[in-house]
Amino acid sequence: MERRKQNTKKTTRKSSYKQRDSRWKQSSNRGSSRPSRGRGRGRSGGGGGRRGYTFKSIDIVSFIDKVKKESQTHKVFDIVNAFSDFAFDGRMKNNLKRLGFVTPTPIQDAAMVHIMEGEDVIGLANTGTGKTGAFLLPLISKVLQDQTQRVLIIAPTRELVIQIDDEFKQFAKGTKLHSATIIGGVGSQKQIHNLKRRPHFIIGTPGRLKDLFDRKALKLRFINNIVLDEVDRMLDMGFLPIVKGLINETRDNRQSLFFSATMPSDIKKLAGEFLKNPIVVDRQAGRTAKNVTQEVITVDDATAKFHVLKKILNDAEKTLIFSETKRSVDKLTKQLMNMGVKADCIHGNKSQNRRQKSLTNFKQNKIEVLVATDVAARGLDIKGVDTVVNYTVPQSYDDYVHRIGRTGRANAKGRAITLVTK
């Protein structure tokens, strides 16, 4: 009798899809992974409805002083396990050995135990601490043990989706598991073809996932594992209605994992709605890496700011520069290229192929400077970035923390410089 009630509920829910969730319907005009535009200052790469306090130039100095103090009081977490202690498939262990993975990071060590036991988990950890591996490794192991398992991973940006898929391919090499990436900015036909192959892992951005679901190309009723990565960023970008709609279409008896750098009230509410007795694994060491030096340089005007930037670049090897608008990013990139700097840029108006090429060139050191809107501030793991420059003041505390989190990763030393005009 109980089973019959559940089935009836499921049928009713699916048949009244558009009537059921007006917020989902209102969000359908996006049709891609592109976030809603920010308010007020023409922000790009971020989204509307941002949480938290907004900076004014005059008080960013005091805030950074506070962040510096916090970075000196980092928590130290004991690591109990080695990767060899987990009951991974032999092929996975060979892949980890080939990749040089011996000791897990604190978030991996603490979260993987609970995930492998089938529990719902909320994982909180600083950027650059291996959150992706913390959910990918146990889920790959789970699918290898039971080929009926299907995994949906939702991430806020196209670049992060591609990065997660790259890590999946490394961890799952030789296992015959396959994935499909579902992102906007590129044609959908290949993605639809890949979905027809019933991939074990579907990794996508909210907008394109919803688009293919609406077109009946994405079947979510088979999904029994769901991961939300960078949850706080997705909420910032206005994707909450779409994310909730997607989750509602998956199986009721799923395993759900939320990973984030922060735990605002919105995420607590979302977790209370969709997770069952979740285990909260908090491995936040501090707001920022203690090995990142943070500076504020005050300049008189735009001309002086550019001269200071040139001096900074003379002392840097690999620099990520953040500017607020797409137009300012293009202008600054052109200025740098005109003076002989190997530079490129990424922002929301670039095609996905162009964005990915620029990012790949930066990762492979074919260019030495990448200029970006906040589309590059969350989740991306770019090795060797020794300097981050906030060419324009970030709009919020979270933006600042995530921007400078692109340097000083994996215990490397980094430098973060914020330029403020008087």
Question: Does position 42 have pLDDT exceeding 90, yes or no?
Answer: no
Length of the chain: 422
Higher pLDDT, 43 or 215: 215
What pLDDT is recorded for position 14? 39
**Do 93 and 83 form a contact (C-beta atoms < 8 A)?**
yes
pLDDT over 70 at 298, yes or no: yes
Residue bearing the bigger pLDDT, 398 or 252? 252
Mean pLDDT of 34-49: 36
What's the chain's Rg over C-alpha atoms?
22
pLDDT, mean of residues 300-313: 94
The mean pLDDT of 160-179, rounded to a whole number, is: 96
Helix (H, G, I), strand (E, B) or coil at 116: helix
Helix (H) or strand (E) holding 314: helix 302-314
pLDDT above 70 (res 170): yes
pLDDT at 237: 78
Q: What is the average per-residue pLDDT within 48-77?
A: 57
Q: Which CATH architecture has domain 57-72+288-421?
A: 3-Layer(aba) Sandwich (3.40)
Q: Is 121 helix (H, G, I), strand (E, B) or coil?
A: strand
DSSP 241-290: HHHHHHHHTS-TT-EEEEEES---HHHHHHHHHH-SSPEEEEE---SS-T
The answer to whether 113 and 138 have CB atoms below 8 angstroms apart is no
Q: Is pLDDT above 80 for 67?
A: no
Between residues 269 and 378, the one the model is more confident about = 269
Give the domain ranges of the chain.
57-72+288-421, 83-283
Mean pLDDT of 398-418: 83
Q: 262 or 323, which is more confident? A: 323
The pLDDT score that the predictor gives to residue 66 is: 65
pLDDT at residue 287 in the model: 55
pLDDT band at 413 (very low <50, low <70, confident <90, very high): confident
pLDDT at 100 over 80: yes
Mean pLDDT computed over 252-267: 88
Q: Measure the CA–CA gap between 155 and 135, rounded to whole angstroms.
A: 13
**C-beta separation of 36 from 238 below 8 A:** yes
Fold match between 57-72+288-421 and 83-283? Answer: yes
Q: What DSSP letter does each residue of 173-232 carry, written as one string? A: TTS---EEEE-SSS-SHHHHHHHHT--SEEEE-HHHHHHHHHTT----TT--EEEEESHH
Confidence of residue 53 (pLDDT cuts 50, 70, 90): very low
Q: Is the pLDDT of residue 104 over 80?
A: yes
- At residue 348 the predicted structure's pLDDT band, cuts being 50, 70 and 90, is confident
User: What is the third-level CATH fold of 83-283?
Assistant: Rossmann fold (3.40.50)
Predicted pLDDT of residue 39: 33
Q: Which of 2-11, 188-197, 254-263 has the lowest mean pLDDT?
A: 2-11
> 356-371 pLDDT, tens per residue?
899 899 999 999 999 9
State the pLDDT confidence band at 33, using cuts at 50, 70 and 90. very low
Is the per-residue pLDDT at 277 higher than 50?
Answer: yes
pLDDT, the chain, mean: 83
Query: Among 220-229, 324-333, 404-413, where is mean pLDDT lowest?
Result: 404-413
